[in-house]
Structure 1
């Protein structure tokens, strides 16, 4: 073990009440809610990277809670009750963000969300789903037909468009930064470049061993490691899933305004400063995207560019400015894993593709458990 100075031992590595592993949205919201509940407790977040490395800073910046076709698919897999619970958590999570921060702090814009449909079949369930969502959104029609948007936005090969006025766009990096500043101001310690290798729980505390051969002790340990949980929590059903994104060069006269969903949410795009940010296409090569490798691949990027040129900007060729990938955490269904693992350990992981919306509620519920 690397020797500590007395100064380090009495500050950075002093015994903690709660250590949170992971400084993405899950870990930061957990720290915020725990510190609100226990203002006098010593809380530290440890993060193995220089910045949060999963999906928190590498997503598309959507403030959304589910499109019609995605909800229908989730009901088929998870049932009505679990699906509605998940939507409710997402919806409430988005409200929590705006309760804690001004919209300008994280570039939030209530643009509305739109789903593009190529067939009529899902519309048969529109009234049914709107009825189910009434107790969540308090709106008789959460999803409203807006077929005039097809011509207004210039889409091709689209039969119907549905609008959801409750959705919007945000800047994930600015939200992470705002959250970081807030928890630090609340006297939460954040230690980057600190990777947990293993831990030993005993009757008095938990000893954490890091990759740089230093140790921390804590009374409670919280895992907010999402897609990177398997090495520390092998018993939890978590599968990493890569989400790829591209960003075009600026497009003069771009008509799009809003956040857009297609094909059960497997494709998603938005206008970002007159550029199209487009992500998804994971369904075109599912098996290759179950990976922890956060780099883009030619087949997925070609699928995205094909969708861009055929549906979003038919007949136009647009230069691509940037490409990137993030790693999400998936499981047998979309339910997050929030539970107490042992006397002293807890986890809030597997937030799927909507961690931005889910993390605030998961952090709040976690604080209620400890």
Structure 2
């Protein structure tokens, strides 16, 4: 074990009631809700990166809970009950974000969400889905057909547009910063650059061994490492899935705002300061995107550019200024894994690419188990 000073031993490496592994949105919201319930508990969060490492800071900044075709796909996979529960959690999570943080502070813009359709088939179930969503949004029509917007927005190869006024966009970096400030103010300790190598469960505590040969102890641990959870939970039904993004140069008089979905949510884009932020296309090459490598690749970026130039901005070919990738946690279904593994170990993982909306609720669910 690497030697530490008495000062470090009594502060940064002091025994904790709870150690949370992962300082992304899930880990931070979990710490926040536990502190709300148990203000006196000593809580620390360890994070392997110098900043939160994973999808939390590498997403597209959508504050959404799902498009019509995504919902229909999820019902086919999980059934109506689970899908509605998941949508309710996403919707509630967005409400929590706005409850605890000022819209201006996190660049939250409730411009609405839209889905582009090239086929009539999903519209056959529009009324039924709206009936199901009434219990969540209290709106008789959560999804509204707005085909008149196609020409206004300038999209090509689009037969229908569906509007959802309950969706918006935010700045993940500013939300992360605000959330960090909040949990630190509650006396939660955060150790960045601390990679967990192994843990040992004992009768009265858990010992955590770090990559730099330091030791931490806790009464309980909560694993919030999402796509990176296989090392700690080898049997968990979760696989990493890479999401790639690009951003264009500023485009004068960009005619639309809001967040946009296409093809069951596999493509998504938004107006970010008159630039187009576009992500997705994972469904064009599923196998290559089941990876932990957070790098962009030519085939996916090419697919995104084709969609940009053929559908969003026909025949425009704007310059791309930024590209990046983030790693999401997926599985055989999108329902998150929020579990008490035993009396000392818990997990909150597999957020299915909807961590921004789900993390506040998932954190609260874990707090209720403690």
TM-score (structure 1 length as normaliser): 1.00
- Quote the residue 1:316 is aligned against: 316
CA distance in 1 between counterparts of 2:272 and 2:300 reads 21
Please say if 1:277 is aligned against 2:263: no
How far apart are residue 8 of structure 1 and its match? 0.6
Helix, strand or coil: the match of 2:231?
coil
CA distance in 2 between counterparts of 1:98 and 1:203 reads 41
Helix, strand or coil: the match of 2:155?
coil
- Quote the residue 1:184 is aligned against: 184
How far apart are residue 343 of structure 1 and its match? 1.6
Please say if 1:286 is aligned against 2:286: yes
Gaps of 5+ in 1: none
CA distance in 1 between counterparts of 2:236 and 2:76 reads 23
CA distance in 1 between counterparts of 2:254 and 2:79 reads 39
CA distance in 2 between counterparts of 1:363 and 1:150 reads 39
Helix, strand or coil: the match of 1:203?
coil
How far apart are residue 105 of structure 1 and its match? 1.2
Helix, strand or coil: the match of 2:252?
coil
How far apart are residue 342 of structure 1 and its match? 1.6
Please say if 1:27 is aligned against 2:27: yes
CA distance in 1 between counterparts of 2:99 and 2:363 reads 15
Within 5 Å, which residues of 2 pair with 1:231-310? 231-310=231-310
CA distance in 1 between counterparts of 2:303 and 2:6 reads 56
CA distance in 2 between counterparts of 1:68 and 1:176 reads 29
Moved over 3 A (4+): none
CA distance in 2 between counterparts of 1:149 and 1:45 reads 46
CA distance in 2 between counterparts of 1:46 and 1:221 reads 11
TM-score (structure 2 length as normaliser): 1.00
CA distance in 2 between counterparts of 1:188 and 1:53 reads 19
- Quote the residue 1:17 is aligned against: 17
How far apart are residue 37 of structure 1 and its match? 0.6
How far apart are residue 72 of structure 1 and its match? 0.2
CA distance in 1 between counterparts of 2:315 and 2:192 reads 46
How far apart are residue 164 of structure 1 and its match? 0.1
Gaps of 5+ in 2: none
How far apart are residue 59 of structure 1 and its match? 0.2
- Quote the residue 2:132 is aligned against: 132
